[in-house]
């Protein structure tokens, strides 16, 4: 928990969130967790699409929407109207960051792109998220996580060798893009601190996922060999996969030769100490036969027995938890990775906590994911609009 009276590391920063779905909202949620004031702008008709992505719903709020929108104020605004753009301009005047994930060029067509923004706020940072970036033959196409997982090569390496390509179980390309966008914003803030100038950050889902292919991409670039699906095995390290004990599955991850020697001794099989297995390169070359030897030994004990033995030996391992087991584990509880949050209509709202642990300016989760248009009146009053003007804007479908 945050030290009493100590603001978050981004306290004083104002963020206008024009994004929706996951990548952008995930980014702005992180900024909000670190103390930034985040104003989430939604369409006046449907709002953020994730509001309808369910079940499950809790008191009418979708679990999907709830996962990425805490620590924000919720405002509805029709950006297709002159007055809607006027309100956005006023919000940007003293803002630090704008995050948006319209198709490239949309904000400019609405009359308030980056060039217009910086005329009224020289230091504004515009973080633009799209499927394929602002240039290239695919720049005009919409970007969806599933499509990006397919086009980036991620699905081609996910799943068993003899099955069809498989996507990751969460929208990982969106999550990674949200993280890269957050990094880009923080880098731009440092640039502004030195120069006084803002800039536009152009982040694409495809670029983000390609960058996150890390060693698999490097394997291809260095060898010219196209990586294949390996199921739960690792392309560069052995043994590093799922093994089956007498009562279920768990993972062993041997990261170096010293750990392997400890494993070989623990398994009490002299054949595992053969010269061909001494180095990781040798283990990779003779992978199939080595894995078969290890698998036979692993079947002789339970997961709990192996967990104890492997932990004592210092060999990385872990049981395969379902989501319930993971979130309700003692480790998750000790790290405050499930938090209770007060909500106006949901009695017992629980959300996944923040992984950011600061010693002095820790994150503070104090705003519930806003109800649809919950803070529109409050925000507009702060901008100087009267109650009668706000009522007229509602009647004219401006807000």
Please write down the HEC assignment for all residues of 72-100: CEEEECCCCCHHHHHHHHHHHHCCCEEEE
- Rounded to 10 deg, the angle between the 303-313 and 257-267 helix axes is 130
Catalytic: which of 162, 174, 202, 288? 174
Is 96 catalytic? The answer is no
Residues 37 and 11: their CA atoms lie apart, in Å, by: 8
Residues 73 and 368: their CA atoms lie apart, in Å, by: 9
What Cα–Cα distance (Å) separates residue 249 from each residue in 223, 246, 327, 367? 33, 9, 19, 40
Strand ranges inside the chain, DSSP E: 14-17, 37-42, 57-58, 61-62, 73-76, 97-100, 125-130, 200-204, 240-245, 248-253, 317-319, 338-341, 349-352
Q: What is the number of other CB atoms lying within 10 angstroms of the CB of residue 202? A: 17
319 and 303 in contact (C-beta within 8 Å)?
yes
The maximal CA–CA distance of the chain, rounded, in angstroms, is: 85
| Active-site amino acid positions | 174
């Amino acid at each position: 928990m945050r030290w009493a009276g100590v603001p978050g590391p981004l306290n004083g920063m104002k963020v206008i969130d024009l994004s929706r779905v996951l990548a952008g909202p995930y980014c702005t949620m992180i900024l909000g967790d670190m103390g930034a004031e985040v104003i989430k702008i939604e369409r006046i008709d449907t709002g953020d699409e994730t509001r309808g992505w369910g079940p499950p719903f809790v008191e009418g709020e979708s679990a999907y929407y709830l996962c990425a929108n805490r620590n924000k104020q919720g405002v509805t605004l029709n950006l297709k109207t002159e007055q809607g753009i006027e309100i956005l301009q006023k919000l940007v005047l003293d803002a630090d960051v704008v995050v948006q994930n319209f198709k490239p060029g949309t904000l400019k067509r609405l009359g308030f792109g980056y060039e217009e923004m910086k005329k009224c706020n020289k230091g504004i940072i515009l973080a633009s998220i799209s499927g394929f970036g602002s240039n290239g033959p695919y720049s005009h196409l919409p970007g969806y996580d599933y499509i990006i997982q397919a086009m980036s090569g991620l699905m081609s390496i996910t799943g068993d060798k003899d099955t069809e390509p498989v996507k990751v179980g969460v929208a990982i390309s969106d999550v990674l893009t949200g993280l890269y966008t957050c990094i880009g914003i923080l880098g731009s803030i440092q640039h502004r601190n030195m120069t006084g100038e803002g800039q536009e950050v152009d982040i694409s889902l495809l670029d983000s996922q390609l960058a996150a292919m890390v060693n698999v991409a490097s394997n291809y670039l260095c060898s010219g060999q196209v990586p294949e699906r390996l199921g739960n095995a690792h392309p560069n390290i052995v043994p590093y996969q799922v093994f089956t004990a007498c009562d279920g599955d768990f993972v062993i991850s041997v990261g170096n030769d010293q750990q392997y020697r400890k494993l070989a001794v623990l398994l009490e099989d002299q054949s595992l100490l053969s010269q061909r297995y001494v180095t990781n390169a040798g283990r990779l070359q003779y992978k199939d036969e080595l894995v078969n030897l290890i698998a036979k030994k692993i079947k002789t004990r339970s997961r709990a027995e192996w967990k104890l033995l492997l932990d004592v030996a210092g060999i990385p391992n872990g049981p395969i938890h379902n989501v319930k087991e993971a979130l309700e584990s003692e480790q998750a509880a000790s790290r405050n990775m499930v938090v209770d949050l007060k909500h106006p209509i949901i009695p017992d709202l629980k959300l996944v906590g923040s992984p950011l642990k600061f010693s002095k300016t820790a994150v503070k989760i104090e705003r519930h994911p806003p109800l649809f248009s919950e803070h529109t009146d409050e925000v507009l009053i702060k901008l100087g609009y009267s109650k009668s003007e706000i009522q007229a804007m509602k009647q004219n479908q401006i807000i």
